[in-house]
Chain A
Amino acid sequence: MTDRTVHLVQLYPRDMNIYGDWGNTLTLKRRLERYGYAVRLSDHDPGDPFPSDADLLVGGGGQDSGQFRVQEDLQRIAPELRAMAADGLPMLAICGLYQLFGHEFRTGAGETLPGIGILDLTTVGGPTRLIGNIVLESPEFGTVVGYENHSGVTRLGPGQAPLGKVLKGAGNNGEDGTEGARVHHVVGSYLHGSMLPKNPAVADHLIRAAVERRLGVFDAAPLDDTLAERAREVAQARPR
């Protein structure tokens, strides 16, 4: 019998975990379990040996100070992350980590944090925080709902696909109507919310990619997402 275990790795949960990022990890873990897979969950924090056998990576937002603390370690593991991304390993990078998945982040205080260039984008610290409920339309995932809270202003490179078009909210920069970025099976976004509980389509995309990459085939019956559906309807109707 094949080993139906999926190795889920949280990137920097100590320094980059705010606005309910745990909800994304928990959603992936529970859904995998409910689909009939075992989950091995581990953390990667600065200085830890990088788990090269990871199947699925998830990382969240943080204070600017948190970004400074993880930045050096992120550069250390960048070659491996880039190779994994190109090899189709699914990753979810939210907010602070999303910014560092791009080329660079110039903070409001004028410092420059180098990114790891998996996503073709750059970010500068803006004068105002972009805060509120946000709704996107994504070609692959349909309507995506969440909550954004960031002062970073992100511009996508010319060939970089966004996660979706903003229907309500600010998105990457509040100007060009894009939100997030997508390449291979990597999803970057400013959406907290947490994002995955209310967007099972995104969660299942990451899960399917992880399982297919490890086991060749994803063969599970769909889950009942009634609660998520109700919560999505409410989230879309609430004031910004």
Chain B
Amino acid sequence: MSRPHVRLLGQGIRYLTTLRGGGSAFPGLVMERLHPGFVAEELAKLPHGVVLISGTNGKTTTTKMAVQLLRSQGYKVFTNRTGSNFVRGVAAALLGEMSLTGRLDADIAVLELDEAHAVHFVKQVKPRHALLLNVMRDQLDRFGEIDTTRRMLAQIAAATTGTVVLNREDPRIVSLAEHVPEGTQTRWFGLSAPLRPMFPSDDDMRSAGGPDAESDHEQEPAPRPAADVELTSFEANRVRLTVGGEAVETTVALYGVYNMYNAAAALALALAVAGPDADRAALVDELSRVTPAFGRGETITVDGRPLQLLLVKNPAGFRLSLASARPGDYATMIAINDEYADGRDVSWLWDVDFHSLRSGGVDVVAGTRAWDMALRLDYDEVAVREVVPGLGDALRRFLAGAGERPMRVFCTYTSMLELRRELSRVAEVAEI
């Protein structure tokens, strides 16, 4: 088949799968089979190249922010926003964005890829810019070990031709600088010294006495490279940043300190892409207009009461979510599934510190691994009102028992999908 025919076939399949609400990657699979170089050839035409965002936590939110920041600077951005972060998903997204004459109306691509798929991707397409966020325990049952994940990110750094933007506060990410090839720049985003203790790495997780005890293994701090963007401090949604040595202030309508840090990462990336032409003030201003990505702290209103959905998938993310609000003020539900997409291994729950929930307790624990979660909370001496594995029942009981309190639900990926479906019967829930 000739190229345009293959593309039109792919676009047709994409249209049909959209009609039936099917998987977003399937048309991409067809394209990959029929025309293996399709993605690389199309992306190579983009005048500002490809930006790749990877890491364990915060990819989706950070990608969304980076796209918005770059659009505010006049870039025509192509992105894989369907959340299908496979090479195939990129192909499918490309098909969706192209006109029937095969023109992609974009001058830069900003792509979110998980570590394993990114390695596969950079063999076909060399990114001009890469933003590498963090390496944390997540889905180790698939990738094996954290050090393996770090090596995957090293391959991305090594394949990047323009600038690699790195997280100065994650030791495994810092060590990637040595993989950045000659001729490619390394830029950094970071945290002020007072904020660093809020982001414990997986390496300093547990010492004697548990989470309350001081670690007696303080290591000599290594000298830190200067960061283009540093998160200085924050208070509620008010954020102070140091950008290129200059103090700036803005608001960010996102939940939690980790999202503030993602905003700093996205800003550092946008500055690297735009280079000396960047309108710094406009970029900082644009940050105040970003909104949460699906499930990353989105708020759904149920009977006039706010319910916040918080995706949790690894210890560091769960700990940061817990630290982001005073638990006593909320009705709390936790839903833990162990389906393939969540990761079958629930051992990571033991690396989360649940002390902060003691004062208010947990109203409902749900999901396939509800009993594991209840057992975990029992060993941290957190009271649980009810254990209801079925998510529909659990949600109804939670809504009925929450009273006037605002609600928050910590949930794994598949439990969030199901809870959103259940919620859409009683509330306005945005389409994914």
Interface residues of A (CB under 8 A from B): 10, 13-14, 17-23, 25-27, 29-30, 41-43, 45, 63-65, 129, 131-133, 147, 149, 151, 192-194, 197-198, 227-228, 230-231, 233-235, 238-240
Contacts and interface: CB of A to CB of B under 8 A. Distances in A.
The list of the 4 closest CB pairs from A to B, nearest first, reads A23-B350, A20-B350, A20-B347, A230-B371
A233 B338 CA distance: 15
B371 A23 contact: no
Contacts of A132: 141, 344
Contact of A30 (B137, B207, B348, B379): B379
B419 interface: no
Interface in B126-169: 137, 140-141, 144-147
Contacts of A235: 372
B330 to A, nearest CB: 23
5 contacts: A10-B207, A149-B141, A231-B371, A233-B371, A234-B368
A17 B348 contact: no
A147 to B, nearest CB: 5
A231 B208 contact: no
B375 A198 contact: yes
Nearest to A24: B350
B115 to A, nearest CB: 16
B368 A147 contact: no
Interface string B365-380: 0001101101110111
Q: How large is the interface on B (under 10, 10 to 19, 20 to 34, 35 or more residues)?
A: 35 or more
A2 to B, nearest CB: 24
B197 interface: no
B34 to A, nearest CB: 32
B347 A234 contact: no
A162 B354 CA distance: 35
Given A23-B350, A238-B368, A231 B344 contact: no
Contacts, number: 112
A228 B207 CA distance: 25
B171 to A, nearest CB: 12
B145 A23 contact: no
A133 B349 contact: no
Contact of B208 (A42, A131, A151): A42
Q: Point out which of B205, B207, B347, B378 has the most chain A C-beta atoms below 10 A from its C-beta.
A: B347
B217 interface: yes
A197 B144 CA distance: 23
Nearest to B202: A18
A151 B374 CA distance: 31
A133 B141 CA distance: 10
A19 B347 contact: yes
Given A14-B207, A26-B350, A231-B372, A192 B147 contact: no
Contacts of A21: 206, 350
Contacts of B371: 227, 230-231, 233-234
B285 interface: no
Interface in B202-257: 202-210, 216-217
B372 A238 contact: no
A25 B144 CA distance: 23
Given A20-B351, A234-B372, A129 B379 contact: no
B32 interface: no
Given A23-B347, A147-B344, A149-B345, A234 B369 contact: yes
A233 B371 CA distance: 9
Nearest to B339: A239
Given A30-B379, A45-B217, A238-B338, A19 B345 contact: yes
B208 A13 contact: yes
Given A19-B345, A149-B345, A192-B347, 7 more contacts: A10-B208, A14-B204, A22-B206, A41-B209, A147-B345, A227-B378, A230-B387
A22 B374 CA distance: 17
Interface string B270-314: 000000000000000000000000000000000000000000000
B347 A147 contact: yes
Contact of B145 (A27, A64, A194): A64
Contacts of A147: 141, 344-347
Contacts of B389: 234
B375 A228 contact: yes
Nearest to A193: B347
Contacts of B369: 231, 234
Given A227-B371, A227-B378, A129 B344 contact: no
B172 to A, nearest CB: 11
B206 to A, nearest CB: 4
Nearest to A22: B206
Contact of A14 (B144, B217, B344, B350): B217
Contacts of B347: 19-20, 23, 147, 192-194
